[in-house]
Amino acid sequence: MLILGTSPTLFRKFANMFDDEEEDEYMGGEVKEDLSSFNAMYKSNEYKYFDSDRIEAIIDHLFMTNQFRKAKWAAENAYEHFPYNKLFLVRKAQALSLIGELKEGIKLLLQLEKTEGKSLDILLSLASSFSQLRDSESAIKYYKKCLELVEEDDKGELYVDLAIEYENNNDYKSAIDILNQALLSDPANESLVFEMAYCYDQMQEYDKAIKCFVDYIDEQPYSFTAWYNLANAYAKIRDFDNAIWAYEYCILINEDFAPAYFNLGNTFVEQNEFIKALEFYKKCIEIDGEDAMVFCSMGECLEELGHLEEAYEFYRKSTDLIPQLADAWIGRGIVNDLLGNTAQAKSEIKNAIRLEPTNYTYQHSLANVFENNNEIEEALTWYRKALEMNRLDGDLLLDYFKCLASKDPVMAIYEGTTDETVWNIAETKLVMVYAFWKVNRRTDAELTFEELLIRDNNVASQLFMHFPTLKNYPFFAERLENLD
């Protein structure tokens, strides 16, 4: 029998090592009879004698079929009959770990480690048990010991387990080093590519990720997962042309890989090409069937295209599939607000806030709805709730101070200028130009606008879009004309 351990990857390998024919052979004849006898004993809690190899076969079957409590009972009783056979203690410890009694299992395994020496079965079980306890340092220690003993063909799987422990410690550099070693021993293992992508993403080292995937593709040109992750890395640095190129190669290799179509759609959304994006989202539905996230993305595209009723229908489909999907609820609320269904819009956005109360953008959206309905006090309340979570979002500050300045420009000036952090954000200064002008502080308005032109002329160029009445004053028109 192959080692069991409790490593997630090697346990899966153990559990799936038989095809149907082999399992039928394994379960044939005496073993089936033994299982019947064993189940009767377990039910009555009266253990009777089995030959050592026969009870080993029963315990192995119990592990394969996830009957861990039965396996623990069998191992305990078998060890009483065969105290020289330490395998039964190992199996008991493994069963303890798999039923959640981790500390008891580890204690027994540590005792066995002292008496049995370098046993891969024991070391692997210890590594996995420590991993389940979130003791990554101990797990790393034992996975490294396992690597000294494991056969070359199994090293790739152990490398992944070890890399994941480094990831759990936020040590992504060490994880990448391990994964590079794994690729040397198992260059065709695509799960390693996914782990590598995750690490580089966490480190935000997308250029290194790109080099890694390009090098891998040079050796494995038909790895659709490598092309997929290469495309994702390009998308992260907003190199959309190369992202599209890599996604298309991924699809060329595996035309039924829905995530590539989905992210290709997202890439076109980033470029405001919503019709193209819809084509790829539809392809996702063709491959995988109805999907709430895809429906939500389709709703966003249709909303951007101005097809509001159709957009709402896709958002509704999304929430029908996953009622907890807050993004779809916020989409429903925004569309209803645009359609003039204010009461329903408020209700749907509040539902999104209930689902994700820490997402300040939802509070921002609800404030917009109240403001659009001229309910200024309610709008200001929700803007402030959003600002409690994020006082550095320029768009949020712009909307809040615009709303406040329309009601009380003096208060807007006070709040906008007394907090240095808020004052230094370009969108705040943009509104302060208007607020100063509105209370006849013309010099302050002009100086603030000059400062804004130096600081962020892109925001400064939006002055007339937000405050069209200022077009009537030559100073601003001339300064913006010079900017153009």
Q: Which residue has the higher pLDDT, 115 or 138?
A: 138
Check if the beta carbon of residue 4 is closer than 8 Å to that of residue 121. Answer: yes
- Which residues have CB under 8 Å from 275's CB, separation 6+? 301, 305
Is this structure's pTM higher than 0.85? no
Percent of the chain with pLDDT over 90: 54
pLDDT category, 19, cuts 50, 70, 90?
A: very low
Fold (topology level) of 169-268: 1.25.40
- Which residues have CB under 8 Å from 228's CB, separation 6+? 246, 247, 250, 257, 259, 260, 263
At residue 466, the pLDDT reads 96
Q: Does the pLDDT at position 189 exceed 90?
A: no
Mean pLDDT of 132-150: 82
Q: Does the pLDDT at position 104 exceed 60?
A: yes
Q: Please report how the helices 240-253 and 224-236 are oriented relative to each other, as an axis angle in degrees rounded to 10.
A: 160
Domain boundaries, the chain: 1-150, 169-268
- pLDDT tens by residue, 338-388: 999 999 999 999 999 999 999 999 999 999 999 999 999 999 999 999 999
Fold (topology level) of 1-150: 1.25.40
Of 111-120, 162-171, 311-320, 466-475, the least confident: 111-120
Mean pLDDT of 89-103: 76
Check if the beta carbon of residue 391 is closer than 8 Å to that of residue 422. Answer: yes
- pLDDT tens by residue, 275-322: 999 999 999 999 999 999 999 999 999 999 999 999 999 999 999 999
Mean pLDDT of 6-14: 42
Q: Does the pLDDT at position 449 exceed 60?
A: yes
- Which residues have CB under 8 Å from 170's CB, separation 6+? 202
